[in-house]
Amino acid sequence: MTLENWTLVEVADAIRARRVASREVVETCLARIDAWQPRINAFAAVLADSARTAADRADAAVAAGVPLGSLHGVPLAHKDMFFRASRRSSLGSHNAPPTSGAGESSLLGRLDAAGAIEIGTLNMCEFALGPTGHNAWLGDCRNPWHTEHIACGSSSGGGAAIAARLAYGGFGSDTGGSVRLPASACGVFGLKPTNGRVTRAGMMPLSPSVDVPGIFARSARDVARLLGIVAGRDACDPRSSGLPVPDYEASVERGVAGLRIGVPQNFFLEGVAGDVALRLEESLQALAALGAEIVPVTVPEPEHLTELSRVLVYSEAAAIHGAWLREHAEDYSPQVRMRAATGLAIPAAAYLQAQQLRSGILRRFVDAVFSTCDVLHLPTLGIPVPTLAETDVGGSAAMWDKIAVLVRCTAPFNYLGLPALSVPCGFTDNGLPTSFQLVGRPFAEATLLAMAHAYDGVTRSSRRTPSFPA
């Protein structure tokens, strides 16, 4: 394979072994960005000069024989909402209001310490409030497989950039599916970790009790390496977990023999398109052939989870944006203005109830589901990826229906805080990628990654890349 098609782990290990120079890797990415960016608009900013300087420093360190981090010299790109003191983040807006929690991103600091190079910041839906990839200020992000289709959102640039091989991995945020949906639409891996597994310090808040940083990568092993670097307690984020961080990368080799895969018999498969359903069934057959047991599961209370999540997200978004909305409404596009203002009409009692119910619902869900199976298997996106035109509904009445269809299978797990991984599993009849989603008990990311790695090892679904758009 050519260099741009190597995985993150392959290129990181090659740099450390002096089989390739970091500067060559960075130049490969920058050349692809130059070619693809005008067509898919995946980046908010390209940091070419600083990336080249960092690559030269990385190569000098290799030559000097100094200790190297596990991402030494590898170009990454992240959603433009992780803060650095040296620059202003756009947050997907043309005039971002002040946000609480601003400060240097602990996550970026951990990646820096591992030797990663930031090659750019990625396009996103305005203030992370949008599942499609439309952006009135930065321009729409487009799907690299077919540019008339959406890349999904809100971390739209992450899915598009990693699929088009413009960077080797990156981070977004997932509040209702905002990493998993773009990963599915663009044919890459997308992980939403357990709530608290990864620090949120220095990340733009949308809904602090639901927001989770998430990972885009080309393979399950790549996700495992990135997760192992950023996971763990952070004194700057009091909600981060102090549980030990396992060796995720080693665990991907453990296989799936004997694991029970639960297939929901209610809610999540309702309304799934035929070509998506076919890919889901094929993926189950592949996992069964690897030794997994497929079992039916009834999921408790699924119809309430998305609505409860919405109460939290819109209430907290209104608390962050309320004052700016009242004084500078024109700074918001119609859809984002409508959605951010929704929380102003939610009673405090409803918000408090949604919070108070959360732990009990999670306990009942875990007891009912994971006493029967080890992992849930369901769609990430239950329909083929739609076009930009089909989803360009602004703040109209059609907005709510469009959003509901897109986040139907993802938002429930944000409310529950469970880990969920989107795994590429082929293509629908319109020629765009689709995926299945694996969901586990709290802090079971290692199990999800092992299953995804085993599946991809026999199907190679993630190795296909989009052709350069005409």
- In this structure, the number of other CB atoms found within 10 A of the CB of residue 199 comes to 24
Per DSSP, the residues of 225-275 read HHHHHHBS-BTTBTTS--SPPP-HHHHGGG--TTPEEEEESSSTTTT--HH
Per DSSP, the residues of 177-191 read STTHHHHHHHTSEEE
* Residue of 70, 106, 154, 155 marked active site: 154
The contacts of residue 309 (CB under 8 Å, 6+ apart) are 176, 210, 411, 412, 414, 415
Q: Can you point out the beta strands (E) in 369-419?
A: 375-379
* Residue of 90, 106, 173, 178 marked active site: 178
* Tokens describing residue 115: 């030797």
Look up 173 and say whether it is catalytic: no
Look up 283 and say whether it is catalytic: no
> CA–CA distance from 133 to each of 177, 202, 227, 265, 388 (Å)?
12, 23, 25, 31, 8
* Dihedral sign from CA coordinates of 122, 123, 124, 126: positive
- Count of alpha carbons within 13 angstroms of residue 49, beta-carbon side: 0
- Distance in angstroms (rounded) separating the CA atoms of residues 179 and 153: 7
Look up 86 and say whether it is catalytic: no
Positions annotated as catalytic residues are 79, 154, 178
